[in-house]
Amino acid sequence: MKLSTILKARRALKSAAPLPADCGELCGARCCRGDDGDGVLLLPGEEKLLFLSPGLKKGRSDNGRLYVSCPGKCVRAFRPFLCRIYPLGILWERETIRVVADPRAKIVCPLLQVPEYIAPSFIAAVRRAGKILARDPEGRAFLRDFTRELREYHKFIG
């Protein structure tokens, strides 16, 4: 995907956040405390921006998808796209973007215990960013895979 598309999608999120306050302060940044087996998928082409994110290590999953693992902290301004939309996910179905709670986040993120606390402006910004990705063929392919993955997790986690 063109870097300009990725940057545009990131810009669509601007400084949008799930809460007006830093939610990481409330929960001790639980979503950033994975173990060696955890990683964050990258958008196609996002790896070209990794030089801006020292400390993130690139890897490839069994099915060939690029992801990064991190030491539990990063330069916030340069974090990957999927970290920016957490704990939400984007579904691309029937040519439409839907913003949903990421089923994996339900067992990690306290915000999803009370989803109505998540700022509507954040949900709207994630939707805008999703629409930007969906205009790009590689972005649509990524969103299709991501949708399948979220649907699979949903079956197990609910």
Residue ranges that bind ligand SF4, judged by CB under 6 A: 18, 23-24, 26-27, 29-32, 40, 56, 70, 72-74, 79-80, 83, 86-87, 108-111
Q: Burial letters for 88-125: b for 16+ Cβ neighbours within 10 Å, e otherwise?
A: bbbbbeeeebebbbbbbbbebbebbeeeeebeeebbeb
**Least distance from C-beta 31 to ligand SF4, angstroms?**
3
Name the token pair of 27: 């929960």
Closest to ligand SF4 by CB, 86 vs 92, is 86
Closest to ligand SF4 by CB, 56 vs 126, is 56
**Least distance from C-beta 71 to ligand SF4, angstroms?**
7
C-alpha 60/C-alpha 67 separation (Å) is: 6
**Least distance from C-beta 38 to ligand SF4, angstroms?**
8
Closest to ligand SF4 by CB, 94 vs 158, is 158
**Phi then psi for 89, rounded to 5 degrees?**
-135, 165
Name the token pair of 150: 């979220």
**Least distance from C-beta 5 to ligand SF4, angstroms?**
20
Angle between helices 120-134 and 137-157 (to 10 degrees): 130
Closest to ligand SF4 by CB, 70 vs 91, is 70
